[in-house]
Each structure stands twice: as structure tokens, then as C-alpha cells.
């Protein structure tokens, strides 16, 4: 039985995919990867669009505000439910006030200030860890219904 469990763990590890974000072309690549994995885990077309939009916003934020970063896309399970977990991390300047950064309309750049808050509304689970000088990591999950 432990061999079966190890094989399942190996399959989950093989499903994890990492990608660097260093250019706008990489943001497009993140969108493609997330859409592909979202389809594999059985997300509806609406939920695929939501997670792809969130992934695009988060990857673009890493590129624009931190000069780049990394994305990890994982398939996850909770009992019989399957989902997609996305982690976007960077080594940028960090976010001094997370609550402010999540409020609509606030931005340190030229955008509309809807990316982080909008991404949070598009997913089922959202976690943001950041501090000045320590970079930012955003982890989101979207579950198939």
C-alpha cells in the first residue's frame, strides 16, 4: 500500500510546473500553462477564465513591480475535489501595507489598482505574504465544482 501512495505522490510532483517570469512573453506563457492545467483538473470555462485572469495579473505584477519572478502551478486535491494552485513569487521591493495594496484603486504604478484585489475575488483561496525588502509571494487556489 505504501508503494501505491508513493506512486500517487510522484504523479502529483510530476504535475507541478515552474516557470520564470522575465518578460511579457513569459506572462503569456503563464496564461497558456494555467489554462492547460485548469482544463486538466476539470475547471469550468468560467472558472478557467477566472484563474487565467488572476494568473495574468499576478505574473504581470511580478514583472512590473519586481522586475520578474517565478510561478509554480500545481494540481491539488481535497478529497475527491481537484483544483489548481498557483504560487507567484518575486524578490522585489515588497509591499509595505498589504491591506492598502488589496484595496481597489490603490497602485504604486500607472495601472488601475485592481490587480491584487481583483485576483483575490476571482479565486477560492488567496494568500499574500510580503514585507519591504523581502519580496512578495501570492498563492491562489481555484477548485473544480
CATH class as words, domain 2-143: alpha beta
Return the SS3 of 89.
strand
| Residue-level pLDDT at 105 | 56
Taking only the tens place, the pLDDT of each residue in 30-72 is: 999 999 999 999 999 999 999 999 999 999 999 999 999 999 9
Which pTM does this prediction carry?
Answer: 0.83
Q: What is the mean pLDDT of residues 98-122?
A: 70
Residues paired with 76 in a beta bridge: 83
If phi > 0 it is left, if psi is from -120 to 50 it is alpha, else beta; for residue 47 that is: alpha
Tell me, what's the pLDDT at 116? 87
Tell me what percent of the residues of the chain surpass a pLDDT of 90.
Answer: 70
With a cut of 90, say whether residue 111 has pLDDT above it. no
Amino acid at each position: 500500500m505504501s508503494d501505491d501512495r508513493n506512486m500517487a505522490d510522484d504523479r502529483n510532483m510530476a504535475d507541478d510546473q515552474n516557470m520564470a517570469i522575465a518578460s511579457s512573453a513569459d506572462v503569456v506563457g503563464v496564461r497558456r500553462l494555467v489554462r492547460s492545467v485548469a482544463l486538466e483538473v476539470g475547471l469550468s470555462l468560467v472558472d478557467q477564465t477566472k484563474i487565467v485572469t488572476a494568473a495574468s495579473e499576478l505574473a504581470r505584477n511580478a514583472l512590473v513591480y519586481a522586475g520578474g519572478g517565478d510561478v509554480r502551478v500545481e494540481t491539488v486535491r481535497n478529497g475527491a475535489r481537484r483544483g489548481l494552485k498557483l504560487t507567484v513569487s518575486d524578490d522585489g521591493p515588497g509591499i509595505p501595507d498589504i491591506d492598502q495594496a488589496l484595496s481597489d484603486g490603490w497602485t504604486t504604478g500607472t495601472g488601475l489598482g485592481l490587480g491584487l484585489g481583483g485576483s483575490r475575488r476571482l479565486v477560492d483561496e488567496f494568500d499574500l505574504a510580503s514585507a519591504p525588502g523581502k519580496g512578495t509571494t501570492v498563492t491562489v487556489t481555484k477548485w473544480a465544482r
